[in-house]
Chains A and B, each alone.
Chain A
C-alpha cells in the first residue's frame, strides 16, 4: 500500500508542503487540509509545484477550502476535491498515513 500524506500548513508560512513534496514517492497520495489548502491555489508558486507533481494523487479537503473563501475554480488542475467522507476513504486505502506537522 502507498502512503497518504497530510499537509495542514500554508506553504507560504511553513516548510511542510515543500518537504512533503520532496519526499512523497510516486503513487502516493497527498491531501491538503486546514491551512494546507493554500498550497493548491492557481497562479501561485506552490500551486504550480503541486500541478507538476503528476506522479502523486493530489486532493484538497473541500470543507477547509470553502471555509477559507475558495472553491474548485481557484485550484490548479489535477487536484481532486474530497469531503470528510472522502478523507476517511483515503485513509482506508492508504498505509501509512503521514502527517507533515
Chain B
C-alpha cells in the first residue's frame, strides 16, 4: 500500500496499569496486531504515563508486567511512541525513570498530533 493510502492510527493510553485491564489489553492489541501495514503510533498521556514507569514488579500480584509489554513496543514497526511532557511533570516523573525513551512532546504538540489522525483508538 502506498504511504498516501495508509491510514494514520493512534492508540491513546490514558490509564494506569494494574488497577484495570484496559492498559494491558490495549498493549496486547498493538503487539498482536502490530501495524497491519498502516501508520500506527501510540501516545501516553495523563495516567497513561504510569505505564512507562521503570522497575514495575507485579510478580507478587501474579499479574503480567505492563512495563515489559510497553518496552516490547519498540520491536514493532510503529510510526512513533509519544509521551506527553506535562503529564510526566504533573506526576513528578522524569524521562530517565521510564522503560523506554519515547518522543516527549509538549501538550500543544500532542494535541496537534492527535487531531491529524484518521483514527484515534481509546480504551
B115 touches A25 (CB 8 A): yes
Chain A interface size band reads: 10 to 19
Residues of B within 8 A of A99 (CB): 120, 122
The answer to the question of B119 belonging to the interface, with a C-beta cut-off of 8 Å to chain A, is yes
Choose, from B32-40, B96-104, B106-114, the stretch at the interface: B106-114
Bound together, the chains give a CA A99 to CA B114 distance in angstroms of 12
Chain A neighbourhood of B45, CB < 8 A: 19
With contact pairs A19-B14, A22-B107, A101-B14 given, residues A2 and B115 touching in the complex (Cβ less than 8 Å) = yes
A25 contacts B122, C-beta separation under 8 Å: no
Do A24 and B123 have beta carbons less than 8 Å apart?
no
The interface residues of chain B lying within 8 Å CB-to-CB of A28 are 115
Interface size of B in residues (CB-CB distance below 8 Å): 18
* Residues of chain B contacted by A19 (CB below 8 angstroms): 14, 45-46
Flag whether B57 is at the interface (Cβ < 8 A): no
Which listed residue (B110, B112, B123) contacts A101, Cβ 8 A? B123
A10 close to chain B: CB less than 8 A: no
Which single residue of chain B is at the shortest CB-CB distance from A28?
B115
Question: Is there contact, CB below 8 Å, between A96 and B118?
Answer: yes
B12 contacts the other chain (CB 8 A): yes
Which of chain B's residues has its CB closest to A19's CB? B46
The residues of B with any CB-CB pair to A shorter than 8 Å are: 12, 14, 22, 45-47, 107, 110-112, 114-115, 117-120, 122-123
13 further A-B pairs in the complex, CB-CB below 8 A; given A19-B46, A96-B115, A101-B22: A3-B114, A3-B120, A15-B46, A15-B47, A23-B107, A24-B111, A25-B112, A95-B118, A96-B114, A96-B117, A96-B120, A101-B122, A101-B123
> What are 21 residue pairs bridging A and B, where the CB atoms are less than 8 Å apart in the complex?
A2-B115, A3-B120, A15-B47, A19-B14, A19-B46, A22-B111, A23-B110, A23-B111, A24-B111, A28-B115, A96-B114, A96-B115, A96-B120, A97-B120, A98-B114, A98-B122, A99-B122, A100-B14, A101-B14, A101-B22, A101-B122
